[in-house]
Amino acid sequence: MSVQAEAQEVTATTPAHELTALDRCDSCGAQAYIRATLSSGGQLLFCGHHGRENKEKLIALGATWHDESARLAAPRD
């Protein structure tokens, strides 16, 4: 019997902390725009590319997904 985990999407307005230029992708070291919080409490940070690549797998494991990648397209002041 399999149990399907439901995705928990967290908006960019309610993060533990906003991701900054100091937060780096755990896969490649680029600036992180995505935080996956695992059910164990651990966190993984991803750039947009690696976030999209790993999202389905991590959501299926029950990770909470926090995505700030919309900031990539936002105009700078």
C-alpha dihedral over 17, 37, 8, 47, to 10 degrees? 70
Do 1 and 27 touch, CB atoms closer than 8 A?
no
In the Cβ-directed half-sphere of 58, how many Cα atoms lie within 13 Å?
24
Binned at pLDDT 50, 70 and 90, residue 16 comes out as low
The reported pLDDT for the residue numbered 36 is 97
Averaged pLDDT for residues 18-37: 96
Beta partners for residue 67, in sequence order: 34
pTM for this structure?
A: 0.74
